[in-house]
Structure 1
């Protein structure tokens, strides 16, 4: 993985945690850098980014050690996603809310335009990326 891709990934990770970058900005930057997907693991507090050639990079994503809910609630996860889409909370708030809803992490499939959230017992909830604006 070249230095420019590594730098983009690290900037996106920092920007999400600080609130300086929103999800659409992050996805756009990662896509331009050639990242096809990433996996965020709340328990390990890290995100692994993957390129099509099999290269990967693990980046620490420290967040408060909130408790993970015992039951996975897809409706609560979906609600937190909608709040993010409306800009109503930070990424750290999103992590806290989805963890409380029993989510242990997610896969963002950039090329597939969806995010798969999952619970500790294999439960899952899929969110499609919002539609692209006309002209994209």
Structure 2
């Protein structure tokens, strides 16, 4: 992976973590960098970005100091997603809301235009990208 691609991915991750970039801006920046998907693992506190040629970039994910709930609450996750889409919830708060809702992480399928959120027992919620 070249330095420009790494810098673009790191810039998107940092902008999101700091609440400066909203989800659409992050996805746009990652798409331009050639990322086809990424996985945010709340338990491992890592995000892995995947390029079509098999290259990956693994970045630390700063998480709130809160336990992930045992019960997967899909409606609460949807509420956090919709708050984010409306610009009311930035990523630092989004991660906290997801933990409270029992979400252990998610996969963003840029090429497939949707996000899959995961619970502790394999529960999922699939959210299509807004049009």
Q: TM-score, normalised by structure 1?
A: 0.94
Compute the displacement of 1:66 (Å).
1.1
1:99 aligns with 2:120: no
Compute the displacement of 1:65 (Å).
2.3
Match of 1:89 in 2: 89
Paired with 2:94 and 2:37, the residues of 1 have a C-alpha distance of: 19
Paired with 2:49 and 2:129, the residues of 1 have a C-alpha distance of: 18
Match of 2:126 in 1: 126
* Dislocated runs of 4+, deviation >4 Å: none
In the TM superposition, 1:20-35 aligns within 5 A as 20-35=20-35
In the TM superposition, 1:32-51 aligns within 5 A as 32-51=32-51
Match of 1:3 in 2: 3
- SS of residue matched to 2:117: strand
The answer for unaligned runs of 5 or more in structure 1 is 132-136
Alignment RMSD (CA, Å) = 0.7
The answer for unaligned runs of 5 or more in structure 2 is none
- SS of residue matched to 2:13: helix
- SS of residue matched to 1:38: strand
In the TM superposition, 1:9-24 aligns within 5 A as 9-24=9-24
Aligned residues: 131
Compute the displacement of 1:64 (Å).
1.8
